[in-house]
Amino acid sequence: MKTRDRILRVSLDLFNRDGIAQVSTLIIATEMGISPGNLYYHFRGKDEIVATLISELQNSLTTISNEYPKQVQDFDDYWPFMHTIMALFTHYRFLFRNLDTLNGQSPQIKRKIRTLILKLRTLSNDMLAHLISLGKLKCDDKSLPLLADNLLLVSLNWLNYQTLLDDKYSETDLIRAGVLRLISMVEPYLTESAESPFYTHQDLLDELVN
């Protein structure tokens, strides 16, 4: 792996584990066993590392956005995409645990965060609109933006909420619990043709509440 890529991977691991405020470029360099000057050759500070990680996430979301209309033709196809999105949020969880802090940093990071949130908002709305076009969701034009925003709000804050309740969840359990929470919000709007053979309303309740 190239040094630049290693810096990004180690930084992501440290940010996720310790929080962005507690990790400096010196700590990143020490963790990697390289000199601060070597790190600076690739990134001119922590803000540039963070900006690059945000861009990585944005690129992944663009791929999801492009693939979604072609691959989702029924409500059961919606699950894998929600799982992919929640897995991405978990992979880059330092961003969502530190949104306020990051938003108050450099103008570059603030712009990146705003662009990311707007992209997620559009994606949430477009995913629901596509389900409506397939006849799998019944939601009027006034309710759709609110439902899309509520799904995004839960997505952005789910990791913080769940780890406050129990910080011993595995990553797999966190992702599944997040997806089930989102599905439970969409379920009241499903049409009869969207009923799933893989779960019932009671299945959702049992797993979410227990």
Cα separation, 95 vs 49, in Å, equals: 12
Contact (Cβ atoms closer than 8 angstroms) between residue 71 and residue 65: no
Residue 201 has pLDDT above 70, yes or no: no
Q: In this predicted model, what pLDDT tens digit does every residue of 125-179 receive, in sequence order?
A: 999 999 999 999 999 988 999 999 999 999 888 888 877 777 777 888 888 888 8
Please report, as a single letter, which amino acid is at residue 124: S
Q: In this predicted model, what pLDDT tens digit does every residue of 16-49 receive, in sequence order?
A: 999 888 999 999 999 999 999 999 999 999 999 9
User: Domains, the chain, ranges and CATH?
Assistant: 1-44 (1.10.10.60), 46-209 (1.10.357.10)
Paired tokens of 165? 């309740």
Contact (Cβ atoms closer than 8 angstroms) between residue 85 and residue 64: yes
More confident residue, 104 or 84: 84
Paired tokens of 132? 């409506």
Question: Closest by alpha carbon to 64, among 16, 146, 151, 122?
Answer: 122
